[in-house]
Structure 1
Amino acid sequence: MPDLISDLSANLSLPYLAPAQAQKHVTHNEALALLDALVQLAVASRSAAAPPADPAAGTRYLLPGAASGAWAGQAEGRLALWDGGTWRFLDPAPGWRALVLDEGRALFWDGAAWQEMPLPAQGQTALLGVNAAPDAGNRFAVSSPATLLSHEGAGHQLKINKAAAGETASLLFQTGWSGRAELGCAGADDFVLKVSEDGASWVTALSVAAASGMAHLPQGARVDGALTGTAVVGTVAQVAGGSSGALLEQGSGATGAYLRLADGTQICWHGLTSSASGATGWSFPASFAAPPMVQASCTAGSAHLVSAGAVAAASAEISAWDLTGARAAVSCALLALGRWV
């Protein structure tokens, strides 16, 4: 039995029953009414400036500044309780908590004002372990044969966020808690794949530049399957001495066929019949950047001499002679080798 120095309890100001008190039920009911109002405190709103016209008994509000009507003159932050017949006003104490129903927010009284706090329904917790012990560095820990992350109606994304470009956002693969492979943005915004055989020395196998999307294989690559696509055979190009197109380009026409390599090499070949009356012109199927080396031979045997003259970047003249020194009309095989850049 408390020492009744005061008629009210210390925290909620609930009235005590006095010895030999008449009509004890009145005091007891008053205490129950206050408990009903303050325990599991949930208020209808904290923004209503005036009381509702027909409130239900037990309705509670947190009063805003400059309230009006029956709330006029009450201090901001006080609790207004409709007891079924009149509005009662209560002062919160530091630490009191209230749920604001029309906002879905939880508040606490810091001694001067109501402050927002995370809702327990949001499921926030400092550490979480699933069959594993979390710690300060691994606040979420899972020990399981597998982990399933599935969609809820459509797609699903796993997001790994870092504070700045120089930080790390990656997936680390380990053997016996020693790193063996890392995939992600480690120390920069470029995407990298690194591997290690001991967890100490790391080698970058792949990097993709964030600015251009250009992939780089600094250790090289071994390809045992087929290489296909327009990046293999397509249109070759160079920018500042570096390849910016396909590896190979090929074509053909009435004056022969050609093959261009990404390093700048070009090969042209053709077959024609020389003229007995003079030189025969050969326009290359693809022009060179400078006069190429041209080789010509007779396809009918060794009884004729074939030569190339007047070699230019786009053409050459082909002549054939027999053993008497006279020009001859014979089948010739032609090859030109040079550079297209």
Structure 2
Amino acid sequence: MPQNSPRLNLPYLQPSQAQKHVTHNEALRQLDIITQLCVAKINATIPPVAPDQGEVHALGNTPTGDWAGHAGSLAVWLDNAWHFVPPRIGWRAWDESEEKLLVWDGNSWMPPPVATENLDGVGIATGYDSTNRLSVRSPATLLSHDGGGHQVKINKADASDTASLLFQSNWTGHAEMGLTGNTGFTIKVSPDGGTWTNALSIDPASGTASGAAVQTSADDTTPGRLMRADYGYGPGNLLGTVSENIGIPTGAVLERGATPNGDYIRFADGTQICTVTLPAIGCTTSEGALFASDAAVWDFPMAFATGSTVAVSGGGGASARFIGFEAPTETQVAFKVLSTTSDATPLPPTAVAIGRWF
């Protein structure tokens, strides 16, 4: 029959053994040391000066003094002497100094393994429930990278479900953003958690924006709303090509240009102004009490709208001269320069035509 038990090394009582109580008490003392094991310190190296009876230390790799040569063992102070017990794999001990449970893995004392998959829930400094299976009570929550980028993913089952972030005050929702009932990104706000307004929605196919925070039409001037690029004007479309659709401007605010026939400017409201400095001309042909230049035609640099009324005015180039215009068409006007005296001096007249381009 062996002298000691195979796992805990407890001494057996032997047949015909004298003073069996000694062996029995030694086994009880061994059990007293390792059962419900609590250690004063883990990886201890220096024996305390005045240990308490039954005080246990888990020794480190380089113990000194009375502990020398017992690396990794449990050192127990009993009857004014240190007793040493080598731990076995799987032994558990409560670390009194750190207040945590540890397990001996054959080389060191480690935290016990914890199953982290398929948990019912996790509550950090608070409790979880069947809806909020992960609950965190903290001034802040940090999710950091692992050497590169980092994503936070919220996945829903179907397009009609919700995948969003809900912002609450005293457990009442006041703002929500995400995929709420469709696949377009939406930002919603609420004054009371019951009535909600879609402030901003972004179409997933086109990327265009709509919602209560955005203009609904070109003439929507509701205070506080964001201006849509196709309804408003900015540095990119103040100057450019003007255009319209059924009388509603669809292009730039102003269009300015020049041709060999003069300069023009078009406004988004349909107004067009054409200006020109005509070739120098003299006035020597007698017409009644006045003297006239040869008849000429000004072809407008840009045509006016068909059927529109064009107003033309101008100057003859000198105080004694003026221009006489015939009725203009949408594309040109005939004119003569008139003078109160016969004057062959070639002077350039100017002209302005105002009308509509649509």
TM-score, normalised by the number of residues in structure 1? 0.49
Q: Which one has a bigger Cα radius of gyration?
A: 2
Q: TM-score, normalised by structure 2?
A: 0.47
